[in-house]
Amino acid sequence: FCFWQEIPEVKSQRLLEGLTPQQHHLQEALFEVITSEASYLRSLSVATSHFKGSLVLQETLTRAEVHRLFSNLQQVRDVSERFLLELEEQMDKDVFLAGLGTVALKHCPAFHRVYVPYVTNQMYQAQLMQQLMRENWRFRQVLRKLEEQPVCQRQPLKSFLVLPFQRITRLKILLENILKLALVGSELAGSISAALRAVGEIVSECNENVRRMKQTEELVLLEKQVEFVKTKSIPLISRGRWLVRAGNFSQILIQEVGVGSRPRLSTKPIHLHLFSDLLLLSRRRDDGRFSVKDYAQTSHVRAEPLKAEPLGLPNTAFLLCLSCNHRGATAEFLLKADSTAGWQRW
Q: Is the pTM of this model over 0.85?
A: no
Average pLDDT over residues 271-298: 94
Q: How many CB atoms lie within 10 A of CB 220?
A: 11
**Which phi and psi (to 5°) does residue 243 adopt?**
-80, 120
pLDDT score of 254 more than 90: no
Containing 319, the helix (H) or strand (E) segment is strand 317-322
pLDDT score of 261 more than 80: no
b/e map of 207-219 (b: 16 or more CB within 10 Å)? Answer: eebbeebeeeeeb
**Which phi and psi (to 5°) does residue 268 adopt?**
-145, 150
pLDDT score of 258 more than 70: no
> Which pLDDT band holds residue 315 (cuts at 50, 70, 90)?
confident
Q: How many CB atoms lie within 10 A of CB 325?
A: 21
* pLDDT reported for residue 310: 64
**Among 35-44, 162-171, 239-248, where is mean pLDDT lowest?**
239-248
Average pLDDT over residues 109-128: 95
pLDDT score of 1 more than 70: yes
**Which phi and psi (to 5°) does residue 184 adopt?**
-60, 130
Instruction: Find residue 278's DSSP bridge partners.
Output: 297
**Tens of pLDDT along 130-164?**
999 999 999 999 999 999 999 999 999 999 999 99
Q: How much of the chain, in percent, has pLDDT values that exceed 70?
A: 97
Highest mean pLDDT among 195-199, 254-258, 314-318: 195-199
* pLDDT reported for residue 262: 67
* Contact status, residue 278 vs residue 298, Cβ threshold 8 Å: yes
> Which pLDDT band holds residue 82 (cuts at 50, 70, 90)?
very high
CA pair distance 280, 236, nearest whole angstrom: 10
- The mean predicted confidence, pLDDT, of the chain is 93
* Contact status, residue 338 vs residue 316, Cβ threshold 8 Å: yes
* pLDDT reported for residue 329: 95
Highest mean pLDDT among 156-160, 249-253, 260-264: 156-160
Greater confidence (326 vs 257) lies with 326
Containing 294, the helix (H) or strand (E) segment is strand 290-297
Q: Which of 156, 133, 157 is nearest to 61 (CA)?
A: 133
Average pLDDT over residues 8-12: 92
* pLDDT reported for residue 298: 95
73-93 and 100-135 helices, crossing angle to 10°: 150
Instruction: Find residue 303's DSSP bridge partners.
Output: 320
Give the SS3 label for residue 250. strand
* pLDDT reported for residue 192: 98
Average pLDDT over residues 276-281: 96
Residues 6+ apart with CB under 8 A from 245: 272, 274, 345, 346
pLDDT score of 342 more than 90: no
100-135 and 63-70 helices, crossing angle to 10°: 140
**Which phi and psi (to 5°) does residue 156 adopt?**
-75, 165
**Tens of pLDDT along 176-210?**
999 999 999 999 999 999 999 999 999 999 999 99
Second-level CATH architecture of 229-345: Roll (2.30)
DSSP string spanning 254-276?
A: EE---TTSPPEEEEEEEEEEEES
Q: Are strands 226-227 and 290-297 parallel, antiparallel or unpaired?
A: parallel
Second-level CATH architecture of 4-224: Up-down Bundle (1.20)
Residues of the chain with CATH 2.30.29.30: 229-345
Residues of the chain with CATH 1.20.900.10: 4-224
